[in-house]
Amino acid sequence: MQRMLTLVAALAFLSIGAWSFVNQDVVDNWIVERSLSSEHEDAPLLGLQENETWLVLVVDFDSNEAANGWGPNEAQNLLGQSASNYFHQVSGNTTNVELVIHPEVIRANNELAYYGSDSSDRDVDEQGNFMPTELAMEAVQSVAKTIDWGPFDLDDDGTVDRLLILHSTKGQEENPSVKNRIWSHFTHFDSPIDVDGEHTVGHYTMASLQTGTSGIGTILHEMMHQMGAVDLYPVHDNAQSQAWNGVGDWDIMASGNWNGGGQWPALPTGPSMELIDAGRSIQLDLTWPEQTSSPCIGPTVDLLGTSESGDVLKIQIGAEEYVFIEKRSNSGYDNRLPGHGILVTYLDINAGDIDQNEVNTNPDFPYLMVIEADGGQELVGGSNSGEDSDVFTNGTQFGAQGITIKNHDGVYVDWTATVSGDNDSIVSFSSVHCSPSFDVNLPDYSATILPGEHVPIQLNHDLACNSSLIASDGRIVNLVFNENATQIHSLEFEGPGMTNSLTIIEGSIECANDAKYVIEYPVLTLNRIPLESQFTADISSSENAKLRIPIESIGNNTQRISAMIDGPLARIAEGNDAVMLENDAFYELEITPNGLLSDNMLVRGELILYTEEGGEWTITINLNAGDNEETFLSELRTPGRVIGVSGILIGIYLMLGLLSRKQSKPIQQDENVEYIQPVQIQPPTPVAADPWGRPIDTMSEHESLGTLDIEKFP
């Protein structure tokens, strides 16, 4: 049985080895994909807790000593009350913050400019290293064995949840033109630091102590990142040229950290409170029973200010889309807001990358935006950071009437909210047509089509539907049912449209005399549409190179489309700002290592193709850097060949083991056969000699005269 199992194992290893050797590229790609997906995961973030305990470390520099008025005592005076009071209001008076400020100042190993110089990016040196992390590591390691880390692990999972490092100089955000200071920030260590065998430090916040009270908002902003909040100021995407201000001064995670000169930061909006698990939202279900007679009357809610422990209303308007309604009153930290009343925000989770802290990159596809009560869209347009007319007050409406709200499919909500009361705090809900018994689903944000193509639309209704739709270019648009597809139908234009043009479909859709949906939906027509893909190549880690990235597309004729490089790749690569789509189209990428690459480094990035109308397609790029000369031995070092050779060698080893055991198997003797007995040869007996080497005769007459005893055959 053992021999059979060994044989099966040997054959399996030989088969795997041979297959891996022949299919080297498949194995190599699989290994790369697995390595990318299994990269070090950042330390988990813990939301706001009822009892918050923060460790605060103070670091200084030879040229900026903490003894000059910026040490632990100043840190206590700066944050002792502000942090506790702020998060007490954020939590609805349920959270207490305790600061544990380490009494000893930690001296940095290098001068400020070593950590803060903007060589290739903010606080990044020429090799691409984010230098403040080195300062943070120095601080943690210097106190690792002197601190009880347990109180700062708020959920007892072995990870330190709150760490604030304050340095004795001013932050660069105070004067961005000074290029050798440290930007206040939150980030993760590349690998968690083991501090006592039971706890690790995986992330930290670093901010300025010398900025003083005007830096309180920035410190609290960065600490909220440790609780899961994301930046809501516009993290500009180079593919989009529009300038806008996100949610501006209405949220500490946007520009609200600077309210009141930085001393009175705004409270978070409802969506930010949800990210840090503040527990302030109440979800409203604004659907009415099918047989309800219109108009439908919904709930009426009297809201308290969020700084006064008031609730935040949350209404779902899409799969991952919500409207938040909250009262922002003239009290607490909100007393320095641009205005006071009912603040309405729209959240589209699909539009942001929370894991990468890249959300409000494009005003056309916002992650979070303010529904401005004056309809002016100044925040979106970038003309201001918030004003009194942004909030809704007594007698104003939003939803289906007043300031209208739609989801990213261009479908307007079917309910209306009316604000009333002397304190602008009462919100009443109603619906003229009640709730439709069907849903409308279009491609997210917009549709990009070729000439003559139709726009797909999904209706989860089996009954007859009709539409009243027209395009902004004058063409009639018909709702056409596809009898061969369940619920998937199309919007078809009467007549061809112009290429490279954007048109808006407007009107309504109604099914079985039910309530109707009003839509406003953009459609872009192009000659060719690019296809998303992946590109992998090997490059030199020291020499310039040019790569041709193939771009697949569908359609006829040619199509010019804008292009840009994004991600870490952008630091070593350049290319044209546009590409012509056609058969066998390529985008030429110029690689300049700039001393930033080393052997076996993986460089990732994206080639983003986009239109000014908001269409965007991504080609994912992975480049393997190295200057190793391609030899037979270097080829054998690839994952596919290593696995192949290893499998074959193991298989051969097992097979040889089988053969060896077979040859050494003992012979079973047959009792009926006479065997020749072996001759036993004894070694010679030593002979005594005299000093001249002559043998001494010591034998007796009874001893054998020979030196060998021979056993005769029987």
pLDDT at 704: 38
Q: Residue 706: pLDDT band by 50, 70, 90 thresholds?
A: very low
Q: Are residues 156 and 81 in the same domain?
A: yes
Name which of 30-34, 84-88, 521-525 the model is least confident about.
30-34
Residue 697 within a domain: no
Question: Which CATH number characterizes residue 553's domain?
Answer: 2.60.40.10
Q: Residue 681: pLDDT band by 50, 70, 90 thresholds?
A: very low
Last residue of a domain, one of 504, 525, 546: 525
For residues 598-622, average pLDDT: 89
Name which of 195-199, 372-376, 602-606 the model is least confident about.
602-606
Q: Are residues 154 and 171 in the same domain?
A: yes
pLDDT at 678 over 50: no
Give the chain's radius of gyration (CA, Å).
37
Q: Which of 282-296, 332-346, 597-611, 677-691 has the highest mean pLDDT?
A: 332-346
pLDDT at 261 over 80: yes
Helices 72-79/216-225 angle, 10° precision: 80
pLDDT at 420: 98
DSSP-based three-state secondary structure for 262: helix
pLDDT at 694: 43
C-alpha 707/C-alpha 682 separation (Å) is: 8
Per the structure, the count of domains in the chain is 4
Between the CA of residue 29 and those of 254, 604, 681, what are the distances in Å?
41, 15, 66
C-alpha 58/C-alpha 209 separation (Å) is: 8
Residue 191 within a domain: yes
Q: Using alpha carbons, select from 249, 229, 221 the residue that is nearest to residue 86.
A: 221
289 vs 520, residue with greater confidence: 520
pLDDT at 11: 75
- What single-letter amino acid sits at 462? D
For residues 685-695, average pLDDT: 45
pLDDT at 83: 96
Residue 567 within a domain: yes
C-alpha 437/C-alpha 322 separation (Å) is: 20
pLDDT at 689: 47
Question: Which CATH number characterizes residue 497's domain?
Answer: 2.60.40.1220
Residue with the two structure tokens 């060719």: 528
**Angle (nearest 5°) at CA 262 between 259 and 268:** 55
Chain-wide mean pLDDT for the chain?
86
Q: Are residues 518 and 535 in the same domain?
A: no
Residue 19 within a domain: no
pLDDT at 649: 78
pLDDT at 653 over 90: no
Q: Residue 513: pLDDT band by 50, 70, 90 thresholds?
A: confident
Residue 130 within a domain: yes
pLDDT tens across 268-300, in order? Answer: 999 999 999 999 999 999 988 877 777 899 999
Q: Are residues 183 and 323 in the same domain?
A: no
Q: Are residues 418 and 446 in the same domain?
A: no
Name which of 18-22, 69-73, 616-620, 627-631 the model is least confident about.
627-631
Q: Are residues 160 and 177 in the same domain?
A: yes
Q: Are residues 540 and 520 in the same domain?
A: no
Residue 510 within a domain: yes
pLDDT tens across 533-582, in order? Answer: 999 999 998 899 999 999 999 998 999 999 999 888 988 999 999 999 99
Residue 357 within a domain: yes
Take residue 92 and report the two structure tokens written for it: 């609805």
C-alpha 330/C-alpha 316 separation (Å) is: 28
Q: Are residues 399 and 485 in the same domain?
A: no
Q: Say which DSSP state 104 is in.
A: S
C-alpha 595/C-alpha 599 separation (Å) is: 11
Share of the chain above pLDDT 90, in %: 62
CB 180 within 8 A of CB 116: yes
Q: Are residues 419 and 536 in the same domain?
A: no
Helix (H) or strand (E) holding 658: helix 639-663
pLDDT at 12: 77
pLDDT at 714: 38
pLDDT tens across 326-352, in order? Answer: 999 999 999 999 999 999 999 999 988
Last residue of a domain, one of 415, 431, 447: 431
CB 489 within 8 A of CB 529: no
Helix (H) or strand (E) holding 398: strand 397-399
Question: Which CATH number characterizes residue 109's domain?
Answer: 3.40.390
For residues 450-456, average pLDDT: 94
Last residue of a domain, one of 491, 525, 559: 525
**75 conformational bin, left if phi > 0, alpha if psi -120 to 50, beta if neither:** alpha
Q: Residue 325: pLDDT band by 50, 70, 90 thresholds?
A: very high
pLDDT at 596: 82
Q: Are residues 514 and 534 in the same domain?
A: no
Q: Which structural domain range is residue 478 located in?
A: 439-525
Residue 214 within a domain: yes
Q: Are residues 108 and 167 in the same domain?
A: yes
Take residue 52 and report the two structure tokens written for it: 């918050």
Take residue 119 and report the two structure tokens written for it: 């060589």
Share of the chain above pLDDT 70, in %: 83
pLDDT at 571: 86
Q: How would you classify the pairing of strands 281-284 and 312-318?
A: parallel
pLDDT at 68: 78
Q: Are residues 283 and 176 in the same domain?
A: no
